Chain A
Amino acid sequence: GIQVEQSPPDLILQEGANSTLRCNFSDSVNNLQWFHQNPWGQLINLFYIPSGTKQNGRLSATTVATERYSLLYISSSQTTDSGVYFCAGRNTGGFKTIFGAGTRLFVKA
């Protein structure tokens, strides 16, 4: 099955700073999602982005499927952005969703 690697594992930001989170996958995926797990444990969909670029407010994501990576950009970070960010994908024709280990983000006020 595919392997999903996320970097960095941990990130501490000052409120207002920008950041880029990276997700590398070992094989072609046709289903790539980014999630935010808030401090209460809830998993929130951020983007479904098998390829291309999408933006939603201060967040944007880009997936370059041919090079097997995806990036999540957080601009003007806020304390409410704290939590763990996961990317997850399925390889073509597969049914198992594989999650990366996550990037733990802490935004300081």
Chain B
Amino acid sequence: DSGVTQTPKHLITATGQRVTLRCSPRSGDLSVYWYQQSLDQGLQFLIQYYNGEERAKGNILERFSAQQFPDLHSELNLSSLELGDSALYFCASSVSGQSTDTQYFGPGTRLTVL
């Protein structure tokens, strides 16, 4: 158990809908990362937050947004969902968000868009 929690574990929804994925980092970690793992794109970095502020952006679509709250948990919002958004979404956390940090991954949320 990495100490990073994600809810829900599974989510099934329809095209055009909006969902929210939740992540709680390990105790003491200030930085949160979101990743998408799909069959055709592999594991891709989406976005990183550090202590509530956005630090880095990767291949995140405009239909997606995220935030980190004062209690350091983070949410990833996915809207106008398409079939291709079906994927495993991982959250990771690290102590300081520096490039030398070790990242610890949560169990993931499996999103299925029908």
Contact = CB atoms under 8 A, between A and B. Distances in A.
Given A31-B100, A43-B105, A102 B2 contact: no
Contact of A97 (B45, B88, B110): B45
Interface in A82-101: 86, 88, 90-99, 101
Contacts of A33: 102-103
A52 interface: no
B43 interface: yes
A55 interface: no
Rank and list the top 5 A-B pairs by shortest CB-CB distance, nearest first: A95-B56, A99-B43, A43-B105, A48-B102, A90-B99
Interface of B: 2, 33, 35, 42-45, 48, 55-56, 58, 88, 90, 97, 99-105, 107-108, 110
| Chain B residues touching A, majority SS | strand
Given A31-B101, A41-B108, A95 B42 contact: no
B104 A45 contact: yes
A31 B101 CA distance: 7
Given A31-B100, A50-B100, A101-B42, A42 B107 contact: yes
A93 B99 contact: yes
